[in-house]
Amino acid sequence: MQSSIADHDQQLRRTVILVAALNLAYFGVEFAVGLAIGSVSLFADSLDFLEDASVNLLIAVALGWGARSRARLGIVLALILLAPAIAGLWTAWQKLMTLAPPAALPLTLTGLGALAVNLSCALMLARFRNHSGSLTRAAFLSARNDVIANIAIIAAGAVTAYLWRSAWPDLIVGAGIAIMNADAAREVWEAAHEEHRAAHC
Protein backbone atom coordinates (compact mmCIF):
# COMPACT_ATOMS: atom_id res chain seq x y z
CA MET A 1 0.00 0.00 0.00
CA GLN A 2 2.79 2.42 0.97
CA SER A 3 4.65 1.50 -2.22
CA SER A 4 1.54 2.22 -4.29
CA ILE A 5 1.13 5.66 -2.66
CA ALA A 6 4.82 6.41 -3.20
CA ASP A 7 4.58 5.43 -6.89
CA HIS A 8 1.51 7.60 -7.30
CA ASP A 9 3.30 10.53 -5.66
CA GLN A 10 6.25 10.07 -8.01
CA GLN A 11 3.96 10.07 -11.04
CA LEU A 12 2.24 13.19 -9.75
CA ARG A 13 5.59 14.92 -9.06
CA ARG A 14 6.80 14.24 -12.62
CA THR A 15 3.49 15.48 -14.02
CA VAL A 16 3.41 18.75 -12.07
CA ILE A 17 7.06 19.51 -12.94
CA LEU A 18 6.28 19.04 -16.64
CA VAL A 19 3.15 21.18 -16.31
CA ALA A 20 5.17 23.89 -14.51
CA ALA A 21 7.78 23.92 -17.31
CA LEU A 22 5.11 24.23 -20.02
CA ASN A 23 3.38 27.06 -18.16
CA LEU A 24 6.62 28.96 -17.57
CA ALA A 25 7.58 28.70 -21.24
CA TYR A 26 4.22 29.96 -22.53
CA PHE A 27 4.11 32.75 -19.93
CA GLY A 28 7.02 34.38 -21.79
CA VAL A 29 5.26 34.06 -25.14
CA GLU A 30 1.89 35.38 -24.01
CA PHE A 31 3.30 38.18 -21.85
CA ALA A 32 5.40 39.49 -24.76
CA VAL A 33 2.51 39.40 -27.23
CA GLY A 34 0.08 40.90 -24.70
CA LEU A 35 2.39 43.86 -24.08
CA ALA A 36 3.10 44.30 -27.80
CA ILE A 37 -0.57 44.53 -28.85
CA GLY A 38 -1.99 46.04 -25.65
CA SER A 39 -4.28 43.12 -24.77
CA VAL A 40 -5.82 42.98 -21.29
CA SER A 41 -6.94 39.37 -21.68
CA LEU A 42 -3.51 38.13 -22.84
CA PHE A 43 -1.78 40.05 -20.04
CA ALA A 44 -4.15 38.55 -17.43
CA ASP A 45 -3.77 35.07 -18.90
CA SER A 46 0.05 35.33 -19.07
CA LEU A 47 0.17 36.11 -15.34
CA ASP A 48 -2.06 33.09 -14.85
CA PHE A 49 0.57 30.96 -16.65
CA LEU A 50 3.21 32.27 -14.23
CA GLU A 51 0.94 31.53 -11.27
CA ASP A 52 0.27 28.00 -12.60
CA ALA A 53 4.02 27.36 -12.85
CA SER A 54 4.44 28.48 -9.22
CA VAL A 55 1.53 26.35 -7.99
CA ASN A 56 2.80 23.20 -9.70
CA LEU A 57 6.38 23.67 -8.47
CA LEU A 58 5.09 24.13 -4.91
CA ILE A 59 3.07 20.93 -5.25
CA ALA A 60 6.18 19.03 -6.39
CA VAL A 61 8.04 20.26 -3.30
CA ALA A 62 5.17 19.58 -0.85
CA LEU A 63 4.19 16.04 -1.89
CA GLY A 64 6.10 14.41 0.94
CA TRP A 65 4.70 16.73 3.59
CA GLY A 66 2.14 15.79 6.23
CA ALA A 67 -1.56 16.63 5.94
CA ARG A 68 -1.33 19.69 8.20
CA SER A 69 1.59 21.21 6.26
CA ARG A 70 -0.13 20.53 2.92
CA ALA A 71 -3.29 22.22 4.23
CA ARG A 72 -1.27 25.30 5.21
CA LEU A 73 0.34 25.40 1.78
CA GLY A 74 -3.13 25.09 0.24
CA ILE A 75 -4.08 28.35 1.98
CA VAL A 76 -0.95 30.00 0.54
CA LEU A 77 -1.84 28.69 -2.92
CA ALA A 78 -5.32 30.20 -2.61
CA LEU A 79 -3.69 33.59 -2.05
CA ILE A 80 -1.36 33.01 -5.03
CA LEU A 81 -4.41 32.29 -7.19
CA LEU A 82 -5.72 35.76 -6.32
CA ALA A 83 -2.65 37.55 -7.73
CA PRO A 84 -3.57 37.21 -11.44
CA ALA A 85 -7.14 38.27 -10.61
CA ILE A 86 -5.96 41.51 -8.99
CA ALA A 87 -3.39 42.20 -11.75
CA GLY A 88 -5.99 41.54 -14.46
CA LEU A 89 -8.50 43.94 -12.93
CA TRP A 90 -5.82 46.63 -12.58
CA THR A 91 -4.80 46.21 -16.23
CA ALA A 92 -8.46 46.40 -17.31
CA TRP A 93 -8.84 49.66 -15.35
CA GLN A 94 -5.76 51.08 -17.10
CA LYS A 95 -7.12 50.01 -20.50
CA LEU A 96 -10.34 51.91 -19.83
CA MET A 97 -8.32 55.10 -20.08
CA THR A 98 -7.52 54.54 -23.79
CA LEU A 99 -9.98 51.89 -25.08
CA ALA A 100 -7.64 51.08 -27.99
CA PRO A 101 -8.54 47.66 -29.47
CA PRO A 102 -5.77 45.03 -29.62
CA ALA A 103 -4.63 43.52 -32.93
CA ALA A 104 -7.12 40.72 -33.58
CA LEU A 105 -4.90 38.19 -35.40
CA PRO A 106 -2.06 38.01 -32.81
CA LEU A 107 -4.72 37.90 -30.07
CA THR A 108 -6.46 34.92 -31.68
CA LEU A 109 -3.27 33.00 -32.59
CA THR A 110 -1.76 33.48 -29.13
CA GLY A 111 -5.04 32.34 -27.58
CA LEU A 112 -4.96 29.19 -29.74
CA GLY A 113 -1.40 28.40 -28.59
CA ALA A 114 -2.40 28.96 -24.97
CA LEU A 115 -5.42 26.68 -25.42
CA ALA A 116 -3.20 23.87 -26.74
CA VAL A 117 -0.81 24.19 -23.76
CA ASN A 118 -3.56 24.43 -21.14
CA LEU A 119 -5.67 21.62 -22.58
CA SER A 120 -2.60 19.36 -22.48
CA CYS A 121 -1.92 20.36 -18.86
CA ALA A 122 -5.56 19.89 -17.80
CA LEU A 123 -5.65 16.39 -19.32
CA MET A 124 -2.39 15.46 -17.56
CA LEU A 125 -3.67 16.73 -14.20
CA ALA A 126 -7.24 15.40 -14.47
CA ARG A 127 -6.41 11.93 -13.13
CA PHE A 128 -4.72 13.43 -10.04
CA ARG A 129 -7.35 16.07 -9.21
CA ASN A 130 -8.61 14.22 -6.10
CA HIS A 131 -5.12 13.24 -4.91
CA SER A 132 -3.35 15.25 -2.15
CA GLY A 133 -6.37 17.43 -1.40
CA SER A 134 -6.24 21.16 -1.98
CA LEU A 135 -2.81 21.08 -3.65
CA THR A 136 -3.71 19.13 -6.77
CA ARG A 137 -7.17 20.68 -6.70
CA ALA A 138 -5.46 24.07 -7.08
CA ALA A 139 -3.41 22.83 -10.05
CA PHE A 140 -6.39 21.19 -11.78
CA LEU A 141 -8.68 24.19 -11.24
CA SER A 142 -6.02 26.51 -12.65
CA ALA A 143 -5.57 24.39 -15.78
CA ARG A 144 -9.33 23.95 -16.26
CA ASN A 145 -10.00 27.66 -15.85
CA ASP A 146 -7.22 28.46 -18.31
CA VAL A 147 -8.83 26.30 -21.00
CA ILE A 148 -12.10 28.23 -20.55
CA ALA A 149 -10.21 31.55 -20.57
CA ASN A 150 -8.34 30.67 -23.77
CA ILE A 151 -11.56 29.82 -25.61
CA ALA A 152 -12.89 33.23 -24.52
CA ILE A 153 -9.68 34.95 -25.74
CA ILE A 154 -10.01 33.30 -29.16
CA ALA A 155 -13.65 34.41 -29.30
CA ALA A 156 -12.64 37.97 -28.34
CA GLY A 157 -10.12 38.00 -31.19
CA ALA A 158 -12.72 36.80 -33.69
CA VAL A 159 -15.30 39.35 -32.49
CA THR A 160 -12.72 42.16 -32.67
CA ALA A 161 -11.69 41.13 -36.20
CA TYR A 162 -15.10 40.56 -37.77
CA LEU A 163 -17.91 42.07 -35.71
CA TRP A 164 -16.87 44.84 -33.35
CA ARG A 165 -13.60 46.75 -33.77
CA SER A 166 -13.41 47.76 -30.12
CA ALA A 167 -11.41 47.23 -26.92
CA TRP A 168 -14.53 45.95 -25.14
CA PRO A 169 -14.40 42.23 -26.14
CA ASP A 170 -10.81 42.03 -24.81
CA LEU A 171 -11.72 44.00 -21.66
CA ILE A 172 -14.74 41.82 -20.93
CA VAL A 173 -12.70 38.62 -21.31
CA GLY A 174 -9.88 40.03 -19.16
CA ALA A 175 -12.34 40.88 -16.37
CA GLY A 176 -13.93 37.43 -16.71
CA ILE A 177 -10.54 35.73 -16.29
CA ALA A 178 -9.93 37.77 -13.13
CA ILE A 179 -13.31 36.76 -11.67
CA MET A 180 -12.74 33.08 -12.53
CA ASN A 181 -9.33 33.11 -10.82
CA ALA A 182 -10.86 34.68 -7.72
CA ASP A 183 -13.51 31.92 -7.60
CA ALA A 184 -10.82 29.22 -7.96
CA ALA A 185 -8.94 30.83 -5.07
CA ARG A 186 -12.11 30.61 -2.96
CA GLU A 187 -12.54 26.89 -3.75
CA VAL A 188 -8.92 26.08 -2.86
CA TRP A 189 -9.15 28.17 0.35
CA GLU A 190 -12.25 26.23 1.44
CA ALA A 191 -10.64 22.85 0.62
CA ALA A 192 -7.48 23.81 2.53
CA HIS A 193 -9.47 24.88 5.60
CA GLU A 194 -11.39 21.60 5.49
CA GLU A 195 -8.07 19.69 5.39
CA HIS A 196 -6.72 21.80 8.25
CA ARG A 197 -9.74 20.96 10.40
CA ALA A 198 -9.44 17.26 9.52
CA ALA A 199 -5.73 17.25 10.43
CA HIS A 200 -6.58 18.55 13.93
CA CYS A 201 -9.25 15.91 14.55
Does 182 have pLDDT greater than 60? yes
CATH code for the domain in which residue 115 is found: 1.20.1510
Please write the tens of the pLDDT for every residue from 129-159: 666 566 677 777 778 778 888 899 899 889 9
**Which residues form the domain of 37?**
2-199
Number of domains in the chain: 1
Q: How far apart are CA 61 and CA 85, in angstroms?
A: 25
Please write the tens of the pLDDT for every residue from 43-78: 888 878 887 888 888 788 877 777 677 777 777 777
pTM above 0.85, yes or no: no
Percentage, residues of the chain above pLDDT 90: 18
Structure confidence at residue 201 (pLDDT) = 60
